[in-house]
A = this chain, B = another copy of it.
Amino acid sequence: MDRTSFRDMNCSVAQALEVLGDWWTLLIVRDAFFGARRFADFEASLGIAKNTLSDRLKHLVDKGVMEKIDAGQTGPRFEYRLTEKGRDLHIVLTALRQWSDKWVYGPGNEPLLVKDKRTGDPVSELRVTDSDGNPLSLRDMFSVAGPGANEETLRMFAPAAKKHRR
């Protein structure tokens, strides 16, 4: 009666959630982007229980999102740093932030703004675009099985869609 793992699902979203889907995990990554490095940093800024933080950091290190560095000439002093894999999550956090700014807080109530250093303007909203940078709406795209697809993928991906189409 373990919690169902997403490991065997041949789906990128599922795999991402297998790494990031636990309660607290993405907030730890967020804090890392804000400069938190030490165990106590995360603990203080999140108010997370030590054991949970310990688990999550281990998991993130294990998955290659963060690395644990012994920064200690002076006693037990470790730093947890984002790897490149971890830094690449910036786009995921941006997507979540923008969604929440729009739908939870609403325009004009954002707790935090991310701006372009050069112009001072807020960064623009993420959009899915074609290769030339033109925005694509949901109706302008379609999904197909990729090179890594298998039957599992297909079962997942074309679930009931067909059954209910009129």
Contacts and interface: CB of A to CB of B under 8 A. Distances in A.
A101 B102 CA distance: 27
A69 interface: no
| Chain A interface category by residue count | 35 or more
A105 interface: yes
Contact of A44 (B93, B117, B160): B160
Interface string A77-116: 0000000010111111111111111111100111111111
A55 interface: no
A19 B104 contact: yes
Nearest to A12: B100
A133 interface: yes
